[in-house]
Each structure stands twice: as C-alpha cells, then as structure tokens.
Amino acid sequence: MGNWSYIARSVEGQRVAGQVQAASREAVLAELEARQLVPVRLQEVRVRRVVGRRIAASRMATMFRQLSDLLRAGVPLLRGLNLLGRTRTNPRLSEVLRTISEEIADGTRLGDAVAKHPAVFSSVQVAMINAGERGGFLTSVLDRIGRFMEHQAEMRSKVLGSLIYPALLMVVGLGVVGYALIGLVPKFRDFYAKIELPLATRVLLGVSDLAAAWWLPGIFILAGIIVGVLWARQRPSFARHWANLELKTPLYGSLRRDLAVARFSRILGTLLDNGVPMLQAMDISRDAAGNPLLEAAIGEATTAVKAGEPLATPLGSSGLFGEDVIEMISVGEAANNLPEVLVTVADTAERRVERALAMLLRVLEPLLLLAMAGMVVFIFVALVVPMMRLTASVQGG
C-alpha cells in the first residue's frame, strides 16, 4: 500500500487536492472515480516513517473509542481531535493528533490526514476511516476500529502470556546448568586429577571445559545466527521456506496456521463489514497477513476475484484453510453475508489457537522440567560417583 497525492476537479469544476492510500495507480484512479473526481495530477508520495517510541495498541484503541464517543455526543471532529490532542499520557500520540487536526482545519479529509502517519495508523485503520467518511458512518467505524484493536491486543496478550512461564523455565534452567558447568564443576578438577574417573565424569569435565572456553564466543555466534536468520527472512524466497518449515512443525505449525487464518479472516471481514471495496480489502488483508504463504494465496485469490471467480476456490487450493473454513466462506459468498462468516471463521480459528496453546504448554512444561531435572541429576551423579569410589577404596584399604 502506497500514499498518492492528487489534484482533481469535481463535477462542479472545483479544484480538490488531497492524498489517498492505495496499492496501485489503477486503484487510485478507481477511488477518485468513485468520488466523482477527475484527476488532473497524480503522484506517489514516498512517506518517511518516523522512528520513535511505539504507541501501545491499547492506547490507540482508547483514542479511537474516545473520538467515537465525542462524535456521537455531537462534538465536531476538529474539536474532538483537539481535545484528545491535549492529553499528556502519550506525548507522541498527542503530537500526531494535533498535526492531524491542523491538516483537517486546512481542508484535508480525516482518511488522507491519518494516511500521512503510517508509523501510527495501519493500512487497515486508514481504509476503514476512508470507507466511514464516504458512507457517512464515521462514528461507528471509529468505535469498531477501537474494538478491533482491543481484540487484537487481547489475543496477542493471551499468546505472549501463555509463553512467559515456559520461557522463564528455559532461562532459569540454562542459567543453573551454565553456572554449574562454568563455576562449579571446574573446582573438582584438581581433586579428581589422580584418580580414574567414570565415563559420565569425564564427559562432564569435557563439557565444562568446552563451556568455560566458548561461552563468550558462543553468545556472539548465537547472536550472529539470530541476526542472520532475521535478515534472511526479509528475502521472499527464504521467508517462504521458513514459513513452510514452521507449518510442518508438530503443534507449532497448526498454531501458526490458525493464527494467520484468524488474522486474515478478521481483517478482511472487518473491512468488508465497514464498506471497504472487496479488492482493496483483499490487498490490505494480504499486506497484514504476516505469513508469506498466506500472502501468496491471498494474491492468487485477489486475481481470481478480479476475474469474477469466487473467493473460496483459490483459498482452498492453498492448503492453509481447512475444508470446514472453505465451506463456510463458500456459503457466505452464496448467501451474501461474507463479512459475518469471516468474523465467525476468525473466532473459530482463535478458539483453536487457545486450545493448541493449552496443549502445547501441557507438553512443553513437563518436558522442560524433566530436562532441567535430568541435567542437574547428571551433574550431581557425575560429581558424586568418583567421591563414593574414592571413599570406598580408602575404607577398604
């Protein structure tokens, strides 16, 4: 999705200038035609993303809900933005709102004004605001955006919250084992220097020497691998292979697939329900899918829809959607209630994610505990057995 500035003439001959967000030049022309505007000049705007502190989704959701409440109470849009721009809880958001209010005071539409701040407002929000302005239901759209963001933040917190305990177990376990190998085991080397050691103790001392010599370079090597993988994932070919590998991983693969399907279905259903045209909604949903394989499937589905084919067929051939989901989408298209069906699909996929997370944690937590216990017991036995042998030999002597 890009930002395009335009100068056009209305049917009355008035000069109109503004910005619109669209995937291509053709989409911009179609948008202007829908507004009954004849373009005189059209140019893509390279928007520089602002680097700064990220605004929390919960704070953005609250802002949208508050602005909706103000409009519903009869407060003009410009005054509502000025009121919200005076808040001191988030200086960056206040600055953005004040900038938007100044642009609206100069005659810019709200959708065009927020499109100039892509680091703050997503393409989904911009499209919904544009649709609400065109259809005359901006108040309800702002409320829906707030609810949509609250739901996304809640889902994200559920996923991250479920992973905190296993991550904590792993960090503590690695810390305990690392301290034992680097700080504890070497103290026994001189004591064991003149006695014959069992295999387990020799292995432990060898691992301890390796850890003591390589723990610092190992950290840099691991950091380099992580940075390399993150860099390679920016390349489309590697990203597709990585996503395919993730989907083939037991439990985790189904979790990733359901998360991607839920995100796509909720975004597309929400956009369609708020008056965004089908093709534009498909483009935005593809950009926000977060999975290269799903993005490719959505791209093929968009091409099929442009050719007059139903949405369910190309999505079904991707292999990312279950047969029940494809059947629901097909029925929704036939019954002309696709937005409601897509939201239902998202709800179903999110429930599956919650069940998969619960199952993954039930499997992962005991495995981590057993691994920790096993390593600690191995270290203990490997250190104690030579002492026992030495004590027995002294007593026998």
Q: Is it the case that residue 349 has pLDDT exceeding 60?
A: yes
Q: Is it the case that residue 375 has pLDDT exceeding 50?
A: yes
Q: What's the half-sphere exposure (Cβ side, CA atoms, 13 Å) at 236?
A: 4
Domain ends where: 317, 335, 352?
352
Predicted local distance difference test score (pLDDT) of residue 50: 42
Indicate whether 203 belongs to any domain. Answer: no
Predicted local distance difference test score (pLDDT) of residue 394: 62
In CATH, what number is assigned to the domain containing residue 320?
1.20.81.30
Q: Is it the case that residue 72 has pLDDT exceeding 60?
A: yes
Specify the amino acid at residue 255. Answer: L
Indicate whether 17 belongs to any domain. Answer: yes
Looking at every residue in the chain, the average pLDDT score rounds to 81
Over residues 181-203, the mean pLDDT reads 81
Domain ends where: 352, 370, 387?
352
Q: What 3-state class would DSSP assign to 37?
A: strand
b/e sequence 340-378, b meaning 16+ C-beta within 10 Å: ebbbbbbebbbebbeebbeebeeebeeebeeebeebeee
Q: Please state whether beta strands 2-10 and 37-45 pair in parallel, antiparallel, or not at all (unpaired).
A: antiparallel
pLDDT tens, residue by residue, 95-137 = 888 888 888 888 888 888 888 888 888 877 887 888 788 777 8
Indicate whether 225 belongs to any domain. Answer: no
Indicate whether 136 belongs to any domain. Answer: no
Predicted local distance difference test score (pLDDT) of residue 52: 45
Q: Where are the alpha helices (DSSP H) in 180-277?
A: 199-232, 236-248, 252-273
Predicted local distance difference test score (pLDDT) of residue 54: 65
- The total number of structural domains that make up the chain: 2
> Domain range holding 258?
252-352
Indicate whether 91 belongs to any domain. Answer: no
**pLDDT band at 48, cuts 50/70/90?**
very low
Q: Is it the case that residue 22 has pLDDT exceeding 80?
A: no
Q: Is it the case that residue 311 has pLDDT exceeding 70?
A: yes
- What tokens does 386 get? 């030579």
Over residues 77-84, the mean pLDDT reads 88
Indicate whether 213 belongs to any domain. Answer: no
Indicate whether 8 belongs to any domain. Answer: yes
In CATH, what number is assigned to the domain containing residue 20?
3.10.20
b/e sequence 182-216, b meaning 16+ C-beta within 10 Å: eeebeebeeebeeeebeeebeebbebbeebeeeee
**pLDDT band at 186, cuts 50/70/90?**
confident
Q: Is it the case that residue 219 has pLDDT exceeding 70?
A: yes
Predicted local distance difference test score (pLDDT) of residue 345: 87
Indicate whether 32 belongs to any domain. Answer: yes
Q: Is it the case that residue 76 has pLDDT exceeding 50?
A: yes
Predicted local distance difference test score (pLDDT) of residue 23: 62
Predicted local distance difference test score (pLDDT) of residue 269: 86
Predicted local distance difference test score (pLDDT) of residue 260: 83
Over residues 12-20, the mean pLDDT reads 74
Q: What percent of the chain has pLDDT over 90?
A: 0
52-56, 76-80, 249-253, 358-362, range with the lowest pLDDT: 52-56
Angle, helices 123-135 vs 138-179, to 10°: value is 170
pLDDT tens, residue by residue, 250-270 = 777 788 888 888 888 888 888
**pLDDT band at 210, cuts 50/70/90?**
confident
Q: Is it the case that residue 174 has pLDDT exceeding 70?
A: yes
Predicted local distance difference test score (pLDDT) of residue 51: 40
* CB distance 54 to 13 below 8 Å: no
Which position has the higher pLDDT, 138 or 54?
Answer: 138
Predicted local distance difference test score (pLDDT) of residue 2: 61
* CB distance 318 to 304 below 8 Å: no
DSSP assigned state of 49 = P
